[in-house]
Each structure stands twice: as structure tokens, then as C-alpha cells.
Amino acid sequence: MWFPRCVRALLSVFIVTSSLNVFTALSAAKQPHIVFILADDYGWYDVGYHGSEIKTPNLDQLSASGVRLENYYVQPLCTPSRNQLMTGRYQIRTGMQHSIIWPCQPYCVPLDETLLPQLMREAGYSTHMVGKWHLGMYKKDCHPTKRGFDSYFGYLTGSEDYYDHIRCAPITPLNLTRCALDFREGEEVATAYKGAYSTELFSERASRIIQTHKSNKPLFLYVALQAVHAPLQVPERYLTPYSFIKDHNRRVYAGMVSAMDEAVGNITSALKQSGLWENTVLVFSTDNGGQTLTGGSNWPLRGRKWTLWEGGVRGVGFVASPLINQPGSVSRELIHISDWLPTLVNLAGGKTKSTKPLDGFNVWNTISKGHASPRLELLHNIDPLFEDTSPCNGNSWAHSGFNVSIHAAIRWSNWKLLTGYPGCDVWFPQPDSDNSESKILEMHSLKPVMLFDVEKDPEERTELSAKFPTVVDYLLGRLSVYQKQALPINYPDEDPKCDPGPEGAWGPWA
């Protein structure tokens, strides 16, 4: 059929434009939606599939249909884990190898670091964050919406009340403790959510983001739950199944775990009901080991949160997705929280060229296909300033220069080397048992250098440094190399200008 030249031109433009739109839609369809759920202070023993008395049916079912990561490592504290998740780099690279960011400290993840959500946005993703940030907030440039997230709903500091969202923190230079709201919607203070339990509030917001997402564009959703960090608070209905637990802290903690498990189930249901699930990769991870002082358990692993023992750094983690090649499997390959950035960005079809040199590896084939992990070595940390805030037995070591009295640990193959004082070193007994395992320490003394075969001895009971001096020498050499590469520790004094006042909210002041 003959058309005038102007009509033919318009038809050509229409056909080309339509083809480009179809191509774009098809390209986007190939990019999986990625949902990353991060629990807070979740203990190794406290998931059903590790034998816990706490019921976690959603986590059990999801992980059973995906891949359980049983040789997966995180950092022993909140800020360091989140830092490495977002940068793909060890904390020695960012000067953040010591402790966490406290509300009045004027620093954040360095602004010249390219973060995971920025890379996902560059790959064409809608990027959303719900929950706990804890990567610095003293100025607006540090906030989630300035670091790659299209939207943010949550709190900026490290902990707070689950219902009124108030954070109380000392302001040492002013010699006072300030209690103020810490809740944001985007960059604005959010005052409308008082009384809403945060675990439920965050799962509802995450579900709404999923339900309103347009499926022709890939979604990256980061849900950093407050659960199960202290304070111990949970609606009464979650406590009823745990009346048999004698210890009060453990009983409330169990209820908090159940609420978290329900939240994960609700987020997963939203993905399925919205038709996104078949093209979704869901990652679940804890940020560090459980805090035994507030009901958590890492049984049978040694230590707890804050420590470099396995109880502080071996994390509950799994991946669930219809896109996995070998669903229903258990991976015992070495994987670290810094591996998620290159893994997820590559899975998304993105590029990591804009980042500084990464310590993380792309481990998707390890997870999905059961291939050997490209990771052979893992630096847990080097922190010359370490001080255990809640030591269980009063141990400590003097610190001067790099020597074996420095708090450090490194994993290589099956070996793990610890130097200095790794933190509280107790094997806390199995919950609700008459086990006296914690007394075993009376028969052992810590040494400045300790070596364990954590493949054969994940409980770190048999110290082997005297039997394998060559391994010790090699790993001390590796620690020395890393120490030479480390940035100076950035851990500034509190700034009194942080004070939000009696009616204000925690937030940027610089």
C-alpha cells in the first residue's frame, strides 16, 4: 500500500521507537529483581534449620527451596557489616575498622566510595531501602537517598525503641543523655508512626513497594530489619508459643525472631502475589553473630557479637530464587558479606568499573551451580584500638604497633588465625539446658596467637599453632600485608553540635 512520504517517515519513527521500547522491556525482563533482607544481631543457633527451639517456618521453607550458606561470614558488628555490604571492600580500606558509628560521631562511609545501590541504579534498577542505615548521618550527603537509593523509610542510627522510635544516646561533651526521635521518610523526619512495631512497619512498607512496582523495570529492594537487636520488645501474641522458655530474655527474643520470620514471609508473599517472584533473587543474611546478653545464641560456636570468634562472624544466610540452578542445596563454600556487591551487580548486568578495587568476589556460580568459591582467603579484621565493651572474663592485651597483641583474625582455606584478644571467648551453653560448657574456659588460657582448623573444628576448641608453625608464619605475613594497606582508623570524637534538643530528631547537623 502506498503512503505519502511524510506518513512513511512517521511510520518509520514509530516502528523504530516501538522496537526500542520492546527491546528495552525485554532487556529489563532479563534482569532479575533483587531483594536483600538483613537481620540484626541474629544468632547462628536461632534459626529452625540449625536445631533451635525457636520456630522459623518461613526461613526454613525459603532456605530449603534455595541454597543455605553454611560457610558464610559477616563482620562482628553492625556498621562494619553494612559498610562491607555496600562497598564490597574490607573495612580497613575505608578507615572504619574500629567499632560502630555512634550518633554524635561526625563521619560516615567515605563519600568517594561507590555504593551498591548506586551501581544498581546505573544498571537501570529502581532502588529502595527500608529499615536501619547505621552508616553515618552527620550531614545530608551521607544519607541513603544521597548514596543511591530512590526512596528511604527507616532510621539512621544503630538502635531504638521498636514502638515510639526514640533513640537515647549520651552526648559526652555536653555531659547529658538525649532521647530523640530517629525516623525518616526520604530525608524528612517522620512523626506519624509512633506506636507501630517496627518489624511489622518495615515489612508493610517493603510489601507496598513491591506491590506498586512496575514489573517492566527491575527492582532492588534492601530491607534492613531492626529485628532482633535490643531492646527486647515484641507484641504479646508472639510470646504465647514460647511460654516453655524459662529465661525471660530468651523468651522475648524468641518472640522477636518469630515476628521477623513472619515479616520475611509477608515480603515473600507480596513478591508472589505481584507476579515478581519468578524473576526474583532473595538474599537473607544476618549482620553479625547473636548477642548472648539479650537472648541470642550462637550454639555451638564460640563467642558472640563484638568478637572475632566464629560466634561473632559466622552468619546465618541463604539465597532463595526460582533462578537458582541447584535449588534445595547446602553450600559449604567460603563466602563473605563483601561478595554481595560484585555478585549482585554482575547478576543485574551492571558494571563495577566505577568502584575502588574490590575485596569481594562474584560468587553467583558458587551459589547457583555449586561451583568452587573463588574466595580462598578472608580478612576478618585488624583493629589496634579494640576494646571489648562487655568482656566475659576480664581478658585484655596491650596494643602497640603491629604485633601479635593486636586484635585481628584471618581465614585461609581451612585455617583461621587469631591474634591479640578476640573478645569474649566463652562457649555459651545451649539455651534452656543445664549444660556447663561455659566453664570449660577454666581449663584453657588464651594465647597471643591462636590457630584453628575451622573446617574440622568450627567450635574452635583445639588450638594448633604449636603444631603448624609454617601456617602461623604465613598468616602472620598476610596480616602484615593487609596492615600496610590499611587506612588510618577514622573514629572521631563526638561533636556536641549533634544535640537534637528536647523536641528535635536525630539527623544531620554539619
Domains of the chain, with CATH numbers? 31-376+491-498 (3.40.720.10), 380-485 (3.30.1120.10)
Query: What is the structure's pLDDT at 395?
Result: 47
Q: Is 108 a catalytic residue?
A: no
Query: What is the structure's pLDDT at 60?
Result: 98
Q: Which helix (H) or strand (E) holds 184?
A: strand 184-185
Query: What is the structure's pLDDT at 434?
Result: 61
Query: What is the structure's pLDDT at 435?
Result: 57
Query: What is the structure's pLDDT at 24?
Result: 38
Asked if 129 and 152 touch (Cβ cutoff 8 Å), the reply is yes
Asked if 359 and 90 touch (Cβ cutoff 8 Å), the reply is yes
Q: Is 134 a catalytic residue?
A: yes
Query: What is the structure's pLDDT at 401?
Result: 33
Q: How far apart are CA 485 and CA 480, in angstroms?
A: 9
Cα–Cα nearest to 258, from 205, 305, 299, 200: 200
Q: Which helix (H) or strand (E) holds 341?
A: helix 340-347
Longest dimension (CA), the chain: 96
Amino acid identity for residue 139 in this structure: K
Burial (Cβ within 10 Å: 0-12, 13-18, ≥19) of residue 462:
exposed
| Phi/psi at 482 (5° precision) | -65, -40
3-state helix, strand, coil in the chain (%, to 5): 35, 15, 50
Q: How far apart are CA 229 and CA 446, in angstroms?
A: 29
Q: Which helix (H) or strand (E) holds 67?
A: strand 67-69
Query: What is the structure's pLDDT at 216?
Result: 85
Choosing from 33, 50, 78, 128, the catalytic residue is: 78
Choosing from 50, 98, 128, 134, the catalytic residue is: 134
Asked if 98 and 91 touch (Cβ cutoff 8 Å), the reply is no
Regions of the chain short of the pLDDT cut 50: 1-4, 6-29, 394-402, 438-443
Cα–Cα nearest to 421, from 286, 288, 312, 296: 312
Instruction: Spell out the residues 6+ positions from residue 344 whose beta carbon is closer than 8 angstroms to its own.
Output: 34, 36, 116, 120, 220, 281, 283
Q: How far apart are CA 465 and CA 487, in angstroms?
A: 29
CA dihedral sign of residues 235, 241, 247, 250? negative
How far is residue 218 CA from its own chain's centroid?
Answer: 22
Asked if 45 and 315 touch (Cβ cutoff 8 Å), the reply is no
Query: What is the structure's pLDDT at 393?
Result: 60
Query: What is the structure's pLDDT at 38?
Result: 98
Query: What is the structure's pLDDT at 69?
Result: 98
